[in-house]
Amino acid sequence: KAGTWVAARRGEGKLAQECRARLTARQLERVDALPYREVVVYSADAALDALEAEVERQQQQDPSWRIFSDHVMKTPWNGAWKAGIWVQSRRGEGKQAQQLRARLTARQLERVDALPYSGVLLSPDAALDALEAEVERQRQQDPNWSIPSGHEMKTGWDEAWKAGTWVHKRRGEGIQVQMWRSRLTARQLERVDALPCGEVMRLSSRVPSRVLT
């Protein structure tokens, strides 16, 4: 356990100082010259606290935001913690996932499973393929159908994907809309703009005539 040996001789703690006191000046120089990176141990509860706070923060800007497998975030133990990998490795039926889940309490498992996790990062082309297929399917029944902002649909990555939200936050002139649009190619922008996008609220045909006059 080479890492443990080095860790016991680096730092400011009492144990480290006792071990260092047994070394010569030259040995101390050699210990301190080793390229050593201290690994900070964090608990499952600390990880879940950070993840839940991140979800709350992100969903204030985008209510449909979900954790993808490549999500990285800043935490007290790591400036670029691979949060998505942490969640991914504890979700699913695989052997590794089951081993890691076995180390969690029942409450921790509930918290892990409650996280809005989407797995593999959703590409714009995959989203657009699904949306165009949905439009074609819906228009077979209603030729005037357009995608309402609250529209949800079943896809390969989500049983109730918020398709309407995905479209609406990429249409318009707002700052956040322009941010999302800047991440798309020219061809993807053409496809987004070609989607029949409905209004947030649509006037019902059953509204009394006095309202319409």
Categorize the per-residue pLDDT at 61 as very low, low, confident or very high, splitting at 50, 70 and 90.
confident
Q: How far apart are CA 6 and CA 186, in angstroms?
A: 53
Q: Average per-residue pLDDT in the chain?
A: 83
Pairing of strands 78-81, 117-119: unpaired
Pairing of strands 73-75, 78-81: antiparallel
For 150, list phi and psi in degrees, rounded to 5: -95, 10
Q: List the structure tokens of 98.
A: 């089951």
pLDDT in tens, 182-198: 989 999 999 999 999 87
Share of the chain above pLDDT 90, in %: 38
User: Does the pLDDT at position 211 exceed 50?
Assistant: no
pLDDT of residue 102: 92
pLDDT of residue 188: 93
pLDDT of residue 37: 65
Q: Is the dihedral of CA 107, 110, 114, 117 positive or negative?
A: positive
pLDDT in tens, 124-143: 888 899 999 999 999 999 99
Segment among 32-36, 60-64, 99-103, 155-159 with least mean pLDDT: 155-159
**pTM of structure:** 0.47
User: Does the pLDDT at position 201 exceed 50?
Assistant: no
Segment among 47-51, 89-93, 188-192 with least mean pLDDT: 89-93
Question: Average pLDDT, stretch 50-74?
Answer: 87
C-alpha distance from residue 101 to each of 39, 68, 80, 110, 136 (Å): 22, 19, 23, 11, 42
More confident residue, 119 or 25: 25
pLDDT of residue 193: 94
Categorize the per-residue pLDDT at 8 as very low, low, confident or very high, splitting at 50, 70 and 90.
confident
